[in-house]
Amino acid sequence: MGPFTISLILISITAVLLVWRYLQNNFTYWRKRGVPYVPFWESFLLSSTAMKKINIFEFFEVFYKALDGHRFGGAFQLVYPIIIIRDPELIKTVFIKAFSNFYDRNPPQDEKGDVFNRTQIFQLTGEKWRTVRHKLSPAFSSAKLKIMYQTLSGCAEDLNAHLQTLCSETGQTEIDVKELMSDYTMDVIGAIALGIKCNSIKGENSEFKQIVRATFKFDQRRTIFATLEVIHPKLPRLLGLTSQLPEEEEYLLGITREAIEMRTDSESSSRRDFLQMLMNLRSQELQQRNENPSGEPDEPVFSEDILVGAIGSFLSAGLEPVAATLTFCLYELALHPDIQEKIYLEIKETKGQTLNDISYEDLKKLRYTEQVMNETLRKYPVAGIMARICTEPFKIPDSDVVVEKGMRVFVPLFSIQRDPQYFPEPDRFDPERFSEENIQKIVPGTYLPFGDGPRSCIAMRLALLDVKTMLIKMVSNYTLYPCARTQRILEFDKKLVSLNPASSLWIGVRKR
Ligand code: HEM
């Protein structure tokens, strides 16, 4: 055996020993710290095999149950230790009080990665996130929402017209509510984000619809991408993998840039979509800079990247959750005629005899409708696992455990919102849980469908407005009922990271 071969063998043995030591350190991480945990092999087997059999919510449910009786506990994601927070008070601490220790959701993105991935608000980190969030928040002010309500009502009316046609012969029809709500939200987000009329409800299978759906669907490609990102944010690029197909990214970048270029001043004044709001913000910033060229601005000007990222964020975060929430809600209403009737009476009372659309101001009066929406988001929290990453070491109150910088923290919200300890008979759809009298009884930190603290959903009010507008339109014009094809037990899609029915969801609708 020559010296070269001997060196090679020694290097290989050293490498194997180092890897083994690293893994050994990780696997014994929680035991050494005296923290209750789900052992590596269990976490590993679950993540590698069960992921195809159960969805991510059920997967975290296993962790949640294994750590029963504990405020928090350890588990593993791939080979890395992670922490699961179960205690509502501790959840509030992580999301709000100790926010500066848990600033981000993931490590900083690869600066050379694809545009939509590295610029989305959801993924941004540190100061960059703070700047963008601060700049985008005014896009969801009450005044802006009031304007958006007109767009939402218009899209809901398109859906109504479509259903009227389907019901024209017999006064009733059966609908795949999942498909229909997905079309509705596509029309809404196209109009609200870019001022595009997609006409999905009218059956147009536009390029925009096809590409947006494909781009932001969490398919196998994105699962692989996300798994590699957990190992290192740069790894996907080094392996030549992008989160979106290059042609999809090009298309979306193209239409956003084209929309920016095509807007002339005269045309812009009448536009009311997000893109226009963002462009107005950019002009204001540029003007301020020109007026005060010597003063260094605190934050960078709204770059094209940030603008594109914001539009990408709205397209990716705005479609699935609203469509799924509406789907679940209409499904539950079809199964609960009494609840449906109460909504109908409330709407009728608010509208009076006119049966015109409800004004933006009057929407607030629909208290019971809101209870139904809240209960839908309780039973079906579409973003049911929340994540943070530790940005500064944090000592967990009333314990000796220190969460180290870089540790991933997960809150299994789906399990918490279905825990009988907090919500008795969790499988029962009961809007009374949110009545004025009962809402006080909800333990803070156990109902967070939009997250909590400075990093909660930026568009919560828009999302609720969107859901409410469609609910009103459906319930005031149709009676929903279960038909022969309606499933009594819902299965959730195992491939997605958000909660969604596994297949088509049929219900009957009858004209009122
Ligand atoms: C019913 C519908 C929706 C639900 C249930 C929902 C829920 C959530 C949740 C749970 C988060 C994470 C919060 C956290 O980590 O604390 C989030 C973040 C976010 N959502 Fe929503 N969302 C909905 C609709 C929308 C819509 C319509 C948009 C955009 C038009 C949107 C944009 C965003 C963005 C940009 C973030 C990231 C915020 C940040 O990191 O600062 N969401 N959403």
Structure tokens at 266: 């005269």
Residue-wise pLDDT for 223-257, tens only, equals 788 888 888 888 888 888 887 778 888 888 888 87
From the CA of 454, give the closest atom in ligand 1: 41
Q: Cβ distance 309 to 135 under 8 Å? A: no
The reply to whether ligand 1 has any atom less than 6 angstroms from the CB of 92 is no
- CA–CA separation, 382 and 321 (whole Å): 6
Binding residues: 457
- CA–CA separation, 321 and 307 (whole Å): 22
Terminal Cα distance for the chain, rounded: 89
Type of residue numbered 152: L
User: Can you give the pLDDT at residue 68?
Assistant: 96
Burial 53-76 (b: 16+ CB within 10 A, else e): ebbbbbbbbbbbebbeeebbbbbb
User: Can you give the pLDDT at residue 504?
Assistant: 95
From the CA of 455, give the closest atom in ligand 1: 41
- CA–CA separation, 449 and 468 (whole Å): 16
Structure tokens at 62: 């296993």
How many Cβ atoms sit within 10 Å of the Cβ of residue 100?
A: 10
H helices within 295-356, ranges in order?
304-318, 320-335, 337-351
Distance 383 CA to ligand 1 centre (A): 8
User: Can you give the pLDDT at residue 293?
Assistant: 66
Distance 455 CA to ligand 1 centre (A): 9
User: Can you give the pLDDT at residue 207?
Assistant: 78
How many Cβ atoms sit within 10 Å of the Cβ of residue 15?
A: 10
User: Can you give the pLDDT at residue 113?
Assistant: 80
The reply to whether ligand 1 has any atom less than 6 angstroms from the CB of 449 is yes
User: Can you give the pLDDT at residue 266?
Assistant: 56
H helices within 352-433, ranges in order?
367-379, 413-417
- CA–CA separation, 457 and 322 (whole Å): 12
Spatial CB neighbours of 52, under 8 Å, sequence gap ≥ 6: 494
Residue 81's SS3 state is strand
Q: Cβ distance 447 to 88 under 8 Å? A: no
Beta strand 506-511 with 478-481 is antiparallel
What element of type H or E holds 479? strand 478-481
In Å, how far are 133, 279, 289, 299 from 302, measured between CA atoms? 12, 9, 12, 9
Q: Cβ distance 274 to 139 under 8 Å? A: yes
Q: Cβ distance 467 to 329 under 8 Å? A: yes
Q: Which residue has the tokens 């504990």?
A: 70
Global pTM value: 0.92
Binding residues for heme: 457
- CA–CA separation, 221 and 179 (whole Å): 23
The reply to whether ligand 1 has any atom less than 6 angstroms from the CB of 455 is yes
Phi, psi of 357 (to 5 degrees): -65, 150
From the CA of 387, give the closest atom in ligand 1: 15
What element of type H or E holds 216? helix 207-216
Phi, psi of 407 (to 5 degrees): -70, 135
- CA–CA separation, 335 and 40 (whole Å): 42
Q: Cβ distance 510 to 478 under 8 Å? A: yes
Q: Is the dihedral of CA 360, 363, 364, 370 positive or negative?
A: negative
* Nearest residue by C-alpha to atom 10 in ligand 1: 450
pLDDT tens-digit profile, the chain (512 residues):
777 888 888 888 888 888 888 888 888 999 999 999 999 888 877 776 666 677 888 889 999 999 999 999 999 988 899 999 999 999 999 999 999 999 999 988 888 887 777 788 888 999 889 988 988 888 898 988 998 999 999 999 999 999 999 999 999 999 999 999 999 999 998 889 888 888 888 877 777 888 887 777 777 777 788 888 888 888 888 888 887 778 888 888 888 877 777 776 556 656 778 888 888 877 877 787 777 766 655 555 577 777 888 888 888 888 889 999 999 999 999 999 999 999 999 999 988 755 567 889 899 999 999 999 999 999 999 999 999 999 999 999 999 999 999 999 999 999 999 999 999 999 999 999 999 999 999 999 999 999 999 999 999 999 999 999 999 999 999 999 999 999 999 999 887 888 999 999 999 999 99
Residue-wise pLDDT for 490-500, tens only, equals 999 887 888 99
Q: Cβ distance 301 to 312 under 8 Å? A: no
> Which residues are paired to 387 by β-bridges?
410
